[in-house]
Structure 1
Amino acid sequence: MVQIEEALKIIRDQQVQVKSEIRALSDCLGYSLSKEISAPFDMPTFDNSAMDGYALCGISREFKIIGEVAAGDESRIRLREGEAARIFTGAKVPENSSAVIMQEKTTVSGNKLFLEQPPKQGQSIRKKGEELKKGEVVFEKGYTITPAGIGMIGSLGIAMVEVFKKPVIHLITTGNELVKHGALKKEGQIYESNSYALRSACEDFGFSCKEKKQIQDDFEAIKSGIKDSLETSDILIFSGGISVGEYDFVKQALEENGVEEQFYKVFQKPGKPLYFGRKENKFVFALPGNPASSLSCFYIYVLPLLYKLSGSVKKGLDRLNLPIAKDYENKSDRPSFLKADIQNGFVEILDGQGSSMIKSMALGNALVFIDATTSVKKGEGVDCYLIS
């Protein structure tokens, strides 16, 4: 059995092989850059107006309107002292422009423009290179592309992007007691749900599960399922069958498939019977079968490796230290990840902390870490892992 930090260090220290690919910009959301992106030109590429209004030459309250410039125009208007030009947001400002004044603060009579007050030098003009200079690094290698990132890259005229490939994920659930949705559930059976939760958790953080299988508690069937998945996946996630019961065959089946144990069992609650193994460049997590345990272990241990395999600079869940809303005493002899909800700057430990209880996790947005046999007073800070 290992401590939490030791288990996390083993995962962090794994040597991985990541490969890159060229993808269309529109298909890059959630992917990580395999090389940095630099600005091919100044951004903006020319001085332009920040609003609809009038470009002015000089600092006065009365101007003569001599023309108009719309966005996209190749206008060659050159203003002289006391002159103005009608201009629209994003349009290139005429040569010699001192400022742009918004139209709401002006009055027009014929070709005369009157201002409520004199403008300030340079106001409402977006200067060339104000956001980026040519050659400046826009995004570092490992940056995970967001919707805003796609917009930024698109504004640089880049249509194809070199990114790291994402890992191929397979998911296997085991258990004779599990019934597929749509089938008749008998006494002593339960509907299988962990695969839905784990698959959705992958998707929530930008990954996709390529294959999902349910296998009965049969050693040869589990062994065969492992063999098939290891041939075509980068990471295999098990749910169930990893404890010490007579029908828990996963650990032995992994060993017979040549998977080398990196650690087995973590001194924590929930999720003690957690397994992590490796075969060459393939990785295996065997998570506990209890729903809350399975999902908690995914968030804390599997997600960091998924990021690592995808070339991301992210290390795992975002973390905050926030004051606790009520006194709490962790009576467990093990460090605990507790289902919690963050509201108005405080975090509340929720009812329903059992490892089989997932409703409280569905109603919360965080996991709170509290050490074994530790009491926390209202207002004291606790470490929060943000799960949504």
Structure 2
Amino acid sequence: MVSIEEALRIIEDQKIDLESELKPLEEALGYALATNTAAPFDVPEFDNSAMDGYALCGLYQEYQLVGEVAAGDSNDISLKDGEAVRIFTGARVPKEATAVMMQEKTSVKENTLFLDEMPKAGQNIRKKGGQLIQGREVFEQGHILNPPSLALMGSLGMEKLEVVSKPTINIISTGNELVKPGQPKTEGQIYESNSYAISGALQQFGFQHHKKTQIKDDFEATKAGIKTALDSCDVLIISGGISVGDYDFVKQSLEENGVNELFYKVFQKPGKPLYFGRKENQFVFALPGNPASSLTCFYVYVLQLLQRLSGYENVGLTTYQFPIKHAYKNTFGRPSFLKAAVIDGQVEVLDGQGSSMIQSMAKGNALAFVDDGEALNEGDLVRCKLIS
């Protein structure tokens, strides 16, 4: 058995070879850039108007209107002192323009423009290269592409981006008692739910599972199912069958399939029977079968590895500190990740802390970490990982 810190360190110490691929811009959200990116041209490429109004030559309150410039126009318009043109947001500003005055502060009579106030040199003109200069670094390798990143890359004309490939993930759930939702069940059976929780958590952080399989508690079936799953994935996540009961065959089946154990069992609650192994460049997590245990282990351990495999520099859920709303003492005999709710800057440990109880986790938004035997008074700071 290892401590929480040891388990996280073992995951962090794994040597990983990253692979890259070209991804269309519209599919690159949440990926890490595989290379440094430089601007292929100035942004903006030309002086342009920051708003609808009038481009002015000289600083006066009265001008002669001589034309119009719309966004996208490529015709050159020259201005003489005292002249102005109607201009629209994003349109190229004539090189002789001194300023742009917003239309709300103007009036026009016949071909004469009147300003309500004196203009200031350079106002409302976005200068060429004001955001980026050609050749200047835009993003470093490892930058996680968010919506503004995609907008900027699109504005640079980049149709495809070289990104770090994300791992292919397979899910196996085990148990004779499990029945798929929507199917009839008999007394003693339960509807399978863990694979939906894991699949949803993957999607929450920008991952997708490749295949999802349900296997009975049978050694040969478990061994064969793991072999098949390992044939088509980088990471295999197994739910259930990892404890020490008579029908828990996952650990032995992993050994039979050449998976090397890196740790088994973590001194924590929930999720003590957690397994982590490796076969060459493939990784396996075998999670406990209880729903809250399974999902907790995903958030604390599995996510960290998946993000590392995807080229992320900062991995795992960020830990925050919040004052606790009420006194609490950990009497479970192990360091604990507790289902909690952070509301208005305070954390409340919820009822229903049992490993099988998922409703309280669904109503909460955090995992509060309380060490073994730790006693907290109202207002004491608690370490929390926000899960939603």
SS in structure 2 at match of 1:289: coil
Q: How far 1:254 sits from its partner (Å)?
A: 0.9
User: Whole-Å Cα distance in 1 between the matches of residues 266 and 310 of structure 2?
Assistant: 25
Q: Go from structure 1 to structure 2 and tell me whether the alpha carbon gap of 1:346 and 1:65 turns closer, same or farther (over 3 Å shift).
A: farther
Residue 217 of structure 2 corresponds to which residue in structure 1?
217
Letter of the 1:83 counterpart = E
The answer to whether 1:105 aligns with 2:100 is no
For 2:270, the equivalent position in structure 1 comes to 270
Q: Summarize the alignment of residues 203-352 of structure 1 with structure 2, pairs less than 5 Å apart.
A: 203-352=203-352
- 2:329 maps to amino acid: E
Residue type of the partner of 2:123? Q
Partners of 2:270 and 2:167 in 1: CA distance: 27
| Cα-to-partner distance string for 1:178-206 (whole Å, 9 max, x where unaligned) | 11222222222110000011011111111
Aligned mates of 1:263, 1:386 — CA distance in 2: 26
DSSP 3-state at the match of 1:51? coil
Larger displacement relative to structure 2 (91-100 or 77-86): 77-86
* CA offsets 1:104-139 (integer angstroms, 9 cap, x no match): 121211222222222232221111111111111112
Partners of 2:124 and 2:65 lie apart in 1 by 18
Q: Which amino acid aligns with 1:305?
A: L
Cα 1:89–1:284 change in 2 (3 A) is: same
Cα deviation for residue 261 of structure 1 reads 0.7
Write the distance in 2 (CA, Å) between the matches of 1:377 and 1:54. Answer: 64
**Count of matched residue positions in the alignment of Structure 1 and Structure 2:** 388
CA deviation profile, 1:265-287 (whole Å, cap 9, x unmatched): 11111111100001111110000
User: 5 Å matches for 1:2-17?
Assistant: 2-17=2-17
Tell me, which stretches of 5 or more residues in structure 1 are unaligned? Answer: none
Q: Which amino acid counterpart does residue 59 of structure 1 have in structure 2?
A: L
2:382 paired with 1:382: yes
For residue 298 of structure 1, report the CA deviation from its aligned partner: 0.4
Structure 1 position 322, deviation (Å): 2.7
* Secondary structure at 1:2 match in 2: coil
The alpha-carbon deviation at position 166 of structure 1 amounts to 1.4
Q: For residue 297 of structure 1, give the secondary structure of its aligned residue in structure 2.
A: helix
1:82 aligned residue: 82
Tell me the residue number matched to 1:194.
Answer: 194
Residue by residue, what CA displacement relative to the aligned partner does 1:355-381 show, whole Å, maximum 9, x if unpaired?
111112212222222222223333333
Q: Is the 8 A contact 1:106 1:114 kept in 2?
A: yes
Name the structure 2 match of 1:43. Answer: 43
What's the offset of the Cα at 1:335?
1.5
Corresponding residue for 1:176?
176
272-281 or 96-105, which moves further after superposition? 96-105
TM-superposed deviation, 1:209: 0.6
Q: Deviations over 1:223-269 (max 9, x none)?
A: 11111111221111110111111111111111121111111111111
Scaled by the length of structure 1, the TM-score of the pair is: 0.96
Distance 1:208 1:98, change over 3 A: same
CA offsets, 1:28-82, max 9 Å, x none?
2222211121110111111111111111223332222222110011232233333
Deviation at 1:384, TM superposition (A): 2.2
Q: Distance in 1 between matches of 2:324 and 2:48?
A: 49
For residues 18-37 of structure 1, the aligned pairs below 5 Å read 18-37=18-37
Change (3 A) 1:343 1:129: farther
Cα offset, 1:164, TM superposition: 1.7
Shift of residue 94 of structure 1? 1.2
2:283 partner amino acid? F
Q: Secondary structure at the match of 2:231?
A: helix
Between the aligned partners of 1:128 and 1:325, the Cα distance in structure 2 is: 53
SS at match of 1:232: coil
For the residue of structure 2 that corresponds to 1:184, the secondary structure is coil
Letter in 1 for 2:118: P
Q: TM-score, normalised by structure 2?
A: 0.96
Q: Aligned partners of 2:113, 2:379: CA distance in 1, in Å? A: 59
Cα distance in structure 1, aligned partners of 2:56 and 2:325: 56
Q: In structure 2, give the amino acid aligned to 1:90.
A: G
Tell me the distance in 2 between the aligned counterparts of 1:334 and 1:50: 60
Structure 2 segments unaligned to the other structure (5+ residues) = none
Query: Counterpart of 2:181 in 1: which secondary structure?
Result: coil
C-alpha displacement of 1:221: 0.7
How far did residue 85 of structure 1 move? 1.4
Q: What code does the residue aligned with 1:295 have?
A: L
Over 3 Å counting, the alpha-carbon distance change for 1:145 and 1:59 in structure 2 is same
Opposite residue 74 of structure 2, the aligned amino acid is: E
The residue type paired with residue 306 of structure 2 is: L
Q: Secondary structure at the match of 1:237?
A: strand
- CA drift of 1:11 comes to 0.3
Q: Give the C-alpha shift of residue 308 in structure 1.
A: 1.2
Maintained 8 Å contact 1:75/1:94: no
State the partner residue of 1:159. Answer: 159
In structure 2, how many angstroms separate the alpha carbons of the residues matched to 1:170 and 1:95? Answer: 59
C-alpha distance 348-109 of structure 1, shift in aligned 2 (>3 A):
farther
Task: Give the equivalent residue in structure 1 for 2:131.
Answer: 131
Amino acid corresponding to residue 224 of structure 2 in structure 1: S
Find the aligned partners of 2:164 and 2:132 in 1 and give their Cα distance: 25
| Aligned AA (2:13) | D
Query: Quick one: which amino acid aligns to residue 101 of structure 2?
Result: I
**Structure 1 counterpart of 2:94:** 94
Counterparts in 2 of 1:85 and 1:379: CA distance versus 1, 3 Å: farther
